[in-house]
Chain A
């Protein structure tokens, strides 16, 4: 299932690197396209919620998979 346009693996990285790299990756997307992010830092769950709230991008899903955290973000128009 690859319902996303771009993917970012931020495993092993501490805040704020996953956020920073996601911000950069999202800037390369068109509005409405999605980015999937994988992270291992437990704090990233709250971080991506806050990030989406502040940037207006949509946090489509956020959950744990195989001990890692996966996020799907849709770029705002």
Chain B
């Protein structure tokens, strides 16, 4: 039965089984044998498609890197106002994970496992937000606010924390406390709370909050 799949179909089925197993058990919790068993092939056949467990894991991560195009859409369509683009990016990120919570599970496992390459992969995804926030706040945060530099440095991390916890609530908890809010509303709410927490309200912002090139 299993021999009827074409090469690419077989590869895809291995990849998808591996994704599910890595998401529930982490990299170290899964063996190549177990992945092969899940798709009903011998480890030898699996190795024909992926040289190692690491190669398989990398291929799973690679699949998740396809969200860039959507940030371009966001920037082209949302204008250049700081809070609009941030809310747009947030919504893209939330939708991606909501569609595929495995990526969040794999990330949480990787934090405990501590593999430097994997940590760098996820850090790089968050860097889009932390860079953007750091850069944007540098541009327009009033110069007279207390601890300006410290605020700018910690603000990106704080937003990352807010967004990650939202994702955990939304995607991993058996009861979704945010069930009545759309992803659009959650994104707007997160950005509003974030701005308020660093002492900025939207009216202040809209007067001068564009990022200069």
A residues touching B (Cβ–Cβ < 8 Å)?
8, 13-17, 19-25, 28, 43, 46-47, 50-51, 54-55
Contact = CB atoms under 8 A, between A and B. Distances in A.
Contacts of A13: 131, 135
B57 to A, nearest CB: 20
A14 B131 contact: yes
Q: Is the interface of B mostly helix, strand, loop or mixed?
A: helix
A19 B128 contact: no
> Chain B contact residues (Cβ within 8 angstroms of A): what range?
20 to 34
Nearest to B124: A14
Q: Is chain A's binding surface mostly helix, strand, loop or mixed?
A: helix
Given A16-B75, A17-B128, A47-B69, 15 more contacts: A14-B128, A14-B131, A16-B74, A16-B85, A16-B89, A16-B128, A19-B71, A20-B85, A20-B132, A22-B213, A46-B68, A50-B69, A50-B72, A51-B75, A54-B76
A5 to B, nearest CB: 13
Contacts of A14: 124, 127-128, 131-132
Contact of A17 (B65, B76, B132, B212): B132
Interface in B33-91: 65, 68-69, 71-76, 80, 85, 89
B193 interface: no
Interface string B119-146: 0000010011001100100000000000
B66 to A, nearest CB: 10
B71 A15 contact: yes
Interface of B: 65, 68-69, 71-76, 80, 85, 89, 124, 127-128, 131-132, 135, 210-213
B80 A47 contact: no
Contacts of A15: 68, 71-72, 128
Contacts of B65: 43
Contacts of B80: 20, 23-24
18 contacts: A13-B131, A15-B128, A17-B132, A19-B75, A20-B80, A21-B211, A23-B76, A23-B80, A24-B213, A28-B213, A43-B65, A43-B68, A46-B69, A47-B69, A47-B72, A51-B72, A54-B72, A54-B76
